[in-house]
Amino acid sequence: MLNTRLRALRPKIIERTAAAIDNMGGHVQCDPKSELLHSNDELIISLVLAGCQPTGKRRLLWRIRFDPMRYQADVTLAVRPDPMNAAELDYYLLPWLDLPW
């Protein structure tokens, strides 16, 4: 259920993220196959959703799962959705050097 909800949310988040970068004067293209965002022909951005999972006692957990194919990106934009996994809550920008190997 969580993965289904996140898959449905992903295209909307990609679209809103690209629009936000465009509004700030950048230009973004999304590779339809890899879903990597190419910004100004200089920066490759991987977008990862960290789905929210309740763990009991009113605690919430967001897990970031990295896809090795996306390590080709310069930065990873980790998006944490709200507790209902319906919309973006916040973003974390992770440089390539900080990613686990």
Render pLDDT for 10-60 as a digit per residue (tens, 0 to 9): 999 999 989 999 999 999 999 988 889 999 999 999 999 999 988 888 899
> What is the full DSSP assignment across 23-81?
HTT--EEE-TTT--EEETTTEEEEEEE--EEEEETTEEEE-----GGGGGSSEEEEEEE
In this prediction, residue 6 carries a pLDDT of: 86
pLDDT band at 4 (very low <50, low <70, confident <90, very high): confident
Specify the pTM: 0.81
The per-residue pLDDT for 97 is: 67
In this predicted structure, the answer to whether residue 101 has a pLDDT above a threshold of 80 is no
